[in-house]
Amino acid sequence: MGQFGTEFCDHFAIARFENNTWSSASIEPLRPLSMHPASHVFHYSSTCFEGFKAYRWGDGKARIYRLPEHVSRMQKSAASLHLPIPDAELLASMVKDLVAAQIEDIPAPPSSLYLRPTLIGTLENIGAAAAPSSEATLFVLASPVGDYFAGGSATLKLLVEDQRARSTEQLGSTKTGGNYAAALGPTLAAKEQYGVDQVLFCPNGDVQETGAANFLVIGDDEIITKPLDTTFLHGMTRDSILKLAADNGYTVSERNFTVDELLELVKTHEAALSGTAACLSPVGSLVYHGKEIKIRDGGPGPNTEKLRKALQDIQYGLAPDTYGWLTEVG
């Protein structure tokens, strides 16, 4: 496999919203989309997407991870952007039908099939800056993937940005391309200047998330992360890890905490990024005001590894899915 997200299956799922109605979905050969240059998405960023995975087990069947929750989050993203909201059954069927059609292309765990439902506004109107797109296209891509962080290092290095936010208060919890575009500049600048992997955005000292994943502090008996609000993404992996942590005896503290508190916590606690692509990736150091600060001894921590394994064992079929997180296909 090539770099994460660069290889695609030869079919995709597609449906359209026109005249206040969703069309039937179809599985078609993957091809470029034909769109008018005045399409709303090109000018006013009317787009949102999802990202989640399907795993192929030894029985030849696929399991899609937390499909209903991802469908629900995409509906919320669409609503926040005033795009036509996909019917839940329509979107779920598109995903399941595509996975079924490409099941032979799903690599064995720990690799997987990454699924990318995308919704774009297609109304042909460059005068609609203050109006939503009343037409839309919904499609689902499938991409066989390995690990997201392919740099080979055991832990990640983060720059602590204590002034700027990743997104806005209105759209932080919306999975829209604009949020990633907003984080790109600071992340590239940080990589060039400090050699970090990501930026941990902590506006006004409030620890939030990185450009592509949620952030968690993990101790031997507790896990700490920011409580859900509209300023940052409500990650499914984050939610899963918190549930697993609680069931494994950890105290789960969803609370606000500052950069100053974080710098004290990392003397005794681990830190990790959670996300569909990242899974639960250990953080080994922080860069703050030009100084590199190790998180504990700088290496991967046992608690992060324990919780990562607990999640992956469910995804790979090595542990029972007592949470009902998996949708079987095939």
* Catalytic residue set: 175
**Three-state DSSP class for residue 36:** coil
Q: What is the 3-state secondary structure (H, E, C) of 274-327?
A: EECCCEEEEEEEEEECCEEEECCCCCCCHHHHHHHHHHHHHHHCCCCCCCCCEE
**Three-state DSSP class for residue 187:** helix
Burial 148-165 (b: 16+ CB within 10 A, else e): bbeeeeebbbbbbbbeeb
| DSSP character string of 41-68 | HHHH--EEE--EEEEE-TTS-EEEETHH
Residues 27 and 11: their CA atoms lie apart, in Å, by 6
**Paired sense of beta strands 11-18 and 26-29, if any:** antiparallel
- Tokens linked to 322: 């007592």
What is the Cβ-side half-sphere exposure of residue 229, based on CA atoms within 13 angstroms? 15
Helices (H), 114-252: 177-194, 236-247
Residue of 198, 168, 219, 180 whose CA lies nearest to 281: 198
CB 106 within 8 A of CB 49: no
What residues contact 247, with CB distance under 8 A and at least 6 apart? none
Which run of H or E residues covers position 30? none
Tell me which residue has tokens 């608690």.
303
Residues 162 and 165: their CA atoms lie apart, in Å, by 8
